[in-house]
A and B are shown apart, each in its own frame.
Chain A
Amino acid sequence: MKKNLLILILFFSSLFSQDINLEVEKDELVVEVSGMVCAMCAYGIQEGLSELSFLNQKVYKDDGINIDLDTQMIYIPIDLSKKIDEWEAIQIINDAGYDTVAIYTNFEGNKIEKKNIPKLVS
């Protein structure tokens, strides 16, 4: 009985942990955050990430990045010729007052990788 219950829980949790339908470019980081419900408050994320050392500013011009409040996703175009430090982006988002949930990359162009980010202790 217990075993069946465990199988059932694992089955349902796998259903709910399915990655959302997400497109990630080869030269892009996509960061899932939580708490990003207000555009004016999220402005701090844009300001901070515009200083990111490996940001490719040609894609979104002055905006630097793209923020989707509906999905709580931040799209960061990256310059692959530079050293990519995902932690730098996570730290900036955290300094803006938000929690990072996961980071998605597709460096090989055919496989989206998801890394869950543990909540930072502040």
Chain B
Amino acid sequence: MKKSIILLTIFLSFLQAHPIVFKGGKVIWLIDSPNITDIRFGKTFTKKFYSGIRVFNDKSSDQSYIASNNNLLIKRWNHSSYQANIYSLSSVGLNIDSEKSMYNIGLHADWENRRFMVMHMIEYSSFNESTKNSIRLAFTPKITDYKGTAVWLIAQYSNHSFDDKNNEILMPVIRILKRNYLLEFGGNGKETFLTLMTHF
């Protein structure tokens, strides 16, 4: 059964994706959130498919994992004033210490124009049998041109369910974008959140 799940996940991995950038584009990505510290490196092989590697630490169990990370752009809507996307996400890998297998699957949907952004992500992780729901509502007070530095203000809500516990976190996040660099920093007095990302 477990083998079937792993095989299914590997199969899904090849149908999956997340930040898909541009064909040939490479991404380095660091996330430090209340639940996880995650470092990723990958490449967008086609305009719809990203594949890479990630090393992450689950803070609740203090266990570290190495996994392949594969994402797929399921659908994109390009319009003169907005873009919307649906991605599937997946990872399959091993616990670094015990070599126990793990997988992670999810869906990511977003809509954005030059002033507002809405995002919803749902993920299931096998290593702690958890489900995570994340919602982001964002706006930028000043619309900038292509070369400018864009600042976005984000309200981020996440609901993390595992071990019969339900951990809800509401956090304001500031996002700064300059060309191919992204920095996000958030904090709510108890927890902090950081994302650094570049593509090239």
A-B contact number at CB 8 A: 85
| Chain A residue total in the interface (Cβ 8 A) | 28
B146: contacting residue among A35, A68, A99, A122, CB under 8 A = A68
| 24 A-B pairs (CB sep. < 8 Å) | A33-B78, A35-B82, A35-B83, A36-B83, A37-B81, A37-B82, A37-B112, A38-B83, A38-B112, A39-B177, A40-B177, A40-B182, A43-B179, A43-B199, A47-B200, A48-B24, A69-B146, A70-B145, A94-B47, A95-B22, A95-B46, A97-B47, A97-B76, A122-B48
A48: contacting residue among B23, B177, B181, CB under 8 A = B23
**Do A44 and B48 form a contact, CB below 8 Å, given A37-B83, A37-B112, A69-B146?**
no
**Do A44 and B25 form a contact, CB below 8 Å, given A35-B79, A37-B83, A122-B48?**
yes
A80 is an interface residue with CB less than 8 A from chain B: no
Please provide the chain A residues from 61 to 109 with a CB less than 8 Å away from any CB of chain B in the complex. Answer: 67-70, 72, 94-99, 101
Q: Which chain B positions have C-beta within 8 A of A95?
A: 22-24, 46-47
Q: Which chain A positions have C-beta within 8 A of B145?
A: 39, 68-70
Where the two chains meet, the residues of A that have a C-beta atom closer than 8 Å to any C-beta of B are: 33-45, 47-48, 67-70, 72, 94-99, 101, 122
| Most-contacted residue by chain B among A67, A72, A94, A97 (CB, 10 A) | A97
- Quote the shortest CB–CB distance from A119 to chain B (angstroms): 9
Q: Which chain B positions have C-beta within 8 A of A33?
A: 78
Q: Which chain A positions have C-beta within 8 A of B113?
A: 37
User: Which residue of the partner chain A has the closest CB to B19?
Assistant: A41
User: Which residue of the partner chain B has the closest CB to A63?
Assistant: B147
Alpha-carbon distance A71/B177, docked complex (angstroms): 20
**Interface pair B22/A44, CB less than 8 Å apart:** yes
Q: Which chain B positions have C-beta within 8 A of A41?
A: 21, 83
Interface size class of B (residues with CB under 8 A): 20 to 34
User: Which residue of the partner chain A has the closest CB to B76?
Assistant: A97
Q: Which chain A positions have C-beta within 8 A of B81?
A: 37
Q: Which chain A positions have C-beta within 8 A of B79?
A: 34-35
Q: Which chain A positions have C-beta within 8 A of B177?
A: 38-40
**Interface pair B114/A69, CB less than 8 Å apart:** yes
B61 is an interface residue with CB less than 8 A from chain A: no
Alpha-carbon distance A88/B114, docked complex (angstroms): 28
Alpha-carbon distance A35/B22, docked complex (angstroms): 14
**Interface pair B112/A40, CB less than 8 Å apart:** no
- Quote the shortest CB–CB distance from B17 to chain A (angstroms): 11
- Quote the shortest CB–CB distance from B66 to chain A (angstroms): 27
| Most-contacted residue by chain A among B22, B76, B80 (CB, 10 A) | B22
Q: Write the B144-180 contact mask toward A (1 if CB under 8 angstroms, else 0).
A: 1111101000000000000000000000000001011
Alpha-carbon distance A70/B147, docked complex (angstroms): 12
Alpha-carbon distance A96/B24, docked complex (angstroms): 9
